[in-house]
Amino acid sequence: MNASLNSIRYRTLAGTVLTQFALGSVYTWSLFNAQLSHKLSEPVSQVAFAFGLLSLALAVASSLAGKLQERFGVRKVAIGAGLLLGLGFYLTSQASNLVMLYLCAGLLVGFADGAGYLMSLSNCVKWFPERKGLISACAIGAYGLGSLGFKFINLALLSRFSLEATFQLWGLIAMAMVLAGALLMTDAPKQAAAAQTQGSRDFTLAESMRQPQYWMLAMMFLTVCMSGLYVIGVAKDIGESFVHLPALTAANAVAVIAVANLSGRLVLGILSDKMPRIRVITLAQIAALAGMLTLLFAPLNATLFFAAIACIAFSFGGTITVYPSLVSDFFGLNNLTKNYGVIYLGFGIGSIVGSIVASLFGGFLATFHLILALLIVSLLFSLIIRQPGAAKAAEENFHAEPHLGKA
């Protein structure tokens, strides 16, 4: 690769990391639930539902991002996402009722976040086909760090400004970062992706969806997202009401999850360049299974509780880091944004299914048992799945070899 092309791809990496950091800021949403509840005179649970809608809109937008990139290019779509993100936060600051909050903070901000997230990630991975796992870890790690960095930014803003001004300033900062990142990005040429993947085939979305492996991967992704997102969302409540920990002790779950989540992204992302990625997913599933079995059947104390949620957060962070590269292993790099986009809908579905099951069937235990069953099925899938055409190729190679003993 010549120096000019190498410079372009590293600029794209820098722009992607900057953009991902800003987009990850949406995971500080819980900081605003109490003040929004007071402002709107609505229960915290109903205010918090805006984040569930945000996650769902994020996943839907991610599934559409491939078509937008094909038509407009990564830079223009990222610029549009940044502008929409800023507008969404501004309108959120003006929300005077739940419906407006759901539309602005949930659907608008979520759609903007999703439009920029998966598209910029997939484009960056295409520039580095020889180090897909490491690049995914860098980009998605930046997304995770964004939630940590903006926690301090938003807390500082809340301490000095009103709730409305904080939303507006948050939107301006995030928008400026996304726009700056977008200007550094360049679309990865198809030959750059294909050159490093000789012998592999690029499946279109329609072709991928006709393969049973596609739906096995989708099921595995949905399961880990459901376990991670549900436990992350209610970890403090689990600690207080399920493990009977003091409120201050249970609150430490937030820090445990943040460290484990980031560790999973970095460790499993880097490991995925050194061993088959499907085996990395198997390891992640075993970690989640160990965490869920501990929550369900162990005599819980603070140490076991924190270890259990750390296992689940580690699995979740690692899985969403490795999955873009895993999907490209199975279905090719050139259509990755589209092929991964539909699978990524599992993120949005998983974000709300766990809560719905808990509300319908009596709390944490019902969701834990469902997740445990799905994790067992997913683990079996990861052990038996093979890349499309692998068996056929092996059979063709066998018949192509001369058979000993033939005259």
Note the pLDDT of residue 396: 45
Span of 179-193, 206-220, 375-389 with lowest mean pLDDT:
179-193
Q: In this model, does residue 80 exceed pLDDT 80?
A: yes
**Rounded mean pLDDT of 304-332?**
91
Rounded to whole angstroms, the Cα distance separating 398 from 130 reads 29
* pLDDT for the residue 118: 83
The answer to whether the beta carbons of residues 375 and 289 sit under 8 Å apart is yes
pLDDT above 50: residue 404: no
Question: What would the mean pLDDT of 129-140 be, rounded to a whole number?
Answer: 82
Reduced to 3 states, what is the DSSP secondary structure of residue 9? helix
How far apart (Å, rounded) are the C-alpha atoms in residues 260 and 263? 5
Residue 267 is which amino acid? V
Q: What percent of the chain has pLDDT over 70?
A: 93
Q: Which of 252, 246, 258, 241 is nearest to 358 (CA)?
A: 241
Exposure letters 133-170 (e unless 16+ CB within 10 A, then b): bbbbbbbbbbbbbbbbbbbebbeebbeeeebeebbbbb
Is residue 391 pLDDT above 70, yes or no? no
The residues, ordered by sequence, that sit 6+ positions from 402 with a Cβ below 8 Å of its Cβ are none
How large is the average pLDDT for residues 293-319? 92
The pLDDT assigned to 241 comes to 78
Other Cβ atoms less than 10 A from the Cβ of 330: the count is 24
Q: With a cut of 60, say whether residue 379 has pLDDT above it.
A: yes
Least confident of 80-84, 107-111, 191-195, 380-384: 191-195
Is the Cβ–Cβ distance between 326 and 277 less than 8 Å? yes
Check if the beta carbon of residue 316 is closer than 8 Å to that of residue 228: yes
pLDDT greater than 60 at residue 303: yes
Q: For residues 271, 276, 278 and 280, what is the CA-based torsion angle, rounded to 10 degrees?
A: -20
Cβ(85)–Cβ(104) below 8 Å: no
The answer to whether 60 and 348 have CB atoms below 8 angstroms apart is yes
Note the pLDDT of residue 390.
57
Q: What is the mean pLDDT of the chain?
A: 86
Helices 109-127 and 44-72 pack at an angle, to 10 degrees, of 40
Count of beta carbons in the 10 Å neighbourhood of residue 75: 20
Residue 393 in this model has a pLDDT that exceeds 50: no
Q: Which of 114-128, 163-177, 322-336, 381-395 has the lowest mean pLDDT?
A: 381-395
Residue count of the chain, please give it. 407
pLDDT at 194 over 70: no
Structure confidence by residue, pLDDT tens digits, 237-258: 788 878 888 877 877 777 788 7
Q: What is the mean pLDDT of residues 337-360?
A: 83
Q: Is the pLDDT of residue 341 over 80?
A: yes
Does the pLDDT at position 198 exceed 80? no
Comparing CA positions, the residue from 189, 226, 236, 220 lying closest to residue 284 is 220
Confidence band (pLDDT; 50, 70, 90) for 193?
A: very low
Question: Residue 402 above 60 pLDDT?
Answer: no
- Its pTM stands at 0.75
Q: Look up tokens 């198809």; give the residue.
A: 190
Tell me the residue ranges of DSSP E strands in 289-403: none
